[in-house]
């Protein structure tokens, strides 16, 4: 994204998790939490990897229900403009996040 001289960036508002959120509805219909967020935010894995520093191969393990570190969670939350606590709330179990 480029800006012209003197323009200020538009502040990004965090997405708020709720039972009515489109990701919540996708999860209720059978999507996994990672895939639901990925499709909601429309970020290709290449760009998500660049934004988070997480290798694309790691996304496969996370999408299949593997655990993720707190730093990976924080990086995903920043890339998807959602709070880490809301991201954890969307997971099937908070135990997926390991130290």
Q: How many domains does the chain have?
A: 1
Cβ pair 48, 39 in contact under 8 A: no
Give the whole-angstrom CA distance, residue 70 versus residue 98: 6
In a domain, 15, yes or no: no
pLDDT at 3 over 80: no
CATH of the domain at 62: 1.10.260.40
Can you tell me the mean pLDDT for 1-9?
A: 77
The stretches of 13-94 forming alpha helices (DSSP H) are 22-28, 33-41, 45-52, 56-63, 70-80, 84-89
Domain assignment of residue 11, yes or no: no
Q: For the segment 15-71, what is each residue's pLDDT rounded down to a tens digit?
A: 898 999 999 999 999 999 999 999 999 999 999 999 999 999 999 999 999 999 999
Structural domain harbouring 55: 31-92
* Cβ 88 vs Cβ 21: under 8 Å: no
pLDDT at 12: 83
């Amino acid at each position: 994204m480029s800006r012209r001289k003197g323009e200020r960036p538009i502040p990004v508002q965090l997405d708020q998790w709720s039972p009515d959120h489109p990701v919540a509805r996708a999860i209720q219909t059978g999507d996994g939490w990672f895939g639901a967020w990925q499709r909601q935010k429309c970020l290709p894995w290449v760009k998500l990897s660049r934004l988070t520093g997480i290798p694309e191969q790691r996304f496969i393990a996370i999408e299949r229900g593997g655990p993720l570190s707190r730093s990976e969670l924080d990086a995903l939350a920043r890339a998807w403009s959602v709070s880490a606590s809301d991201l954890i709330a969307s997971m099937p179990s908070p135990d997926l996040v390991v130290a």
